[in-house]
Structure 1
């Protein structure tokens, strides 16, 4: 793939963060990949870098089930950013949840305008290609 994207991975699982980051490094031409164990730290980083002039879109790969601040809480806080900040990001839920296992949660997160889609773990080449075409 030869499209530039920046990625933020937010997942409390060290193994999932590592695997996703390595997969992205091997599969895409990327500007940067940042990984966070804690959703609050990711929000702080986004807030600190909120100049509204990102040279490439940033895709946030967000796990839903995390301690402290879960994915739902992250999205609710992210929605409070000004549009000029939100427009630089696309949130993609990367989770083990499926619509069959927890339809209420899936529906809830898809109601937020900043959430582009949900992808079931693990990330694969096909899922990534589909995501990059959509974004």
Structure 2
């Protein structure tokens, strides 16, 4: 079995679909990594959460998975708001979407904070790769 990191990895999932959040949590359990999941149902709630972490001088999540289509503040708007905070963040952000549009994949590449685009559903192997890159 693969070595797992010794410290807990903080994962922020930004998705308005409770089923997707549940599936991601089950996939996390199967990776063997010690992961604490925080889920926010839209980009505004996620920005508020990140601001609270910064204000209280807590560490930002090391991995962020962002859905595109959400109410209030969608995935793209979240990324723009996050980048406007101008944090010296060292987290890995990925768009996680059921979108199959090439322009969404290309748009994800245009943001400095976004490391890639992952098509839903998230696989155990792909999540293991993301978590191993953090270690």
* TM-score (norm. length: structure 1): 0.83
Matches of residues 15-94 of structure 1 in structure 2 within 5 Å? 15-50=19-54, 54=59, 58-84=62-88, 86-87=89-90, 89-94=91-96
Q: 8 Å contact 1:9–1:21 — kept in the other structure?
A: no
Structure 2 SS opposite 1:32: strand
Q: Which of structure 1's runs of 4+ aligned residues deviate more than 4 A? A: none
Q: Distance in 2 between matches of 1:28 and 1:118?
A: 23
Give the match for residue 132 of structure 1: 131
Unaligned runs of 5+ in 2: none
Q: Is the 8 A contact 1:21 1:35 kept in 2?
A: no
Q: Greater relative contact order (Cα 8 A, min sep 6): structure 1 or 2?
A: 2
Structure-1 residue corresponding to 2:99: 97
SS in structure 2 of the partner of residue 119 of structure 1:
strand
Taking the aligned partners of 1:72 and 1:80, their CA distance within structure 2 comes to 12
Q: Cα deviations across residues 44-73 of structure 1 (Å, max 9, x unaligned)?
A: 01111116662x861111101112211000
Q: Is the 8 A contact 2:68 2:97 kept in 1?
A: yes
Name the structure 2 match of 1:106.
105
Query: d(CA) in 2 for partners of 1:57 and 1:74?
Result: 15
Unaligned runs of 5+ in 1: none
Kept in 2: contact 1:12–1:38 (CA 8 A): yes
Shift of 1:41: 0.8
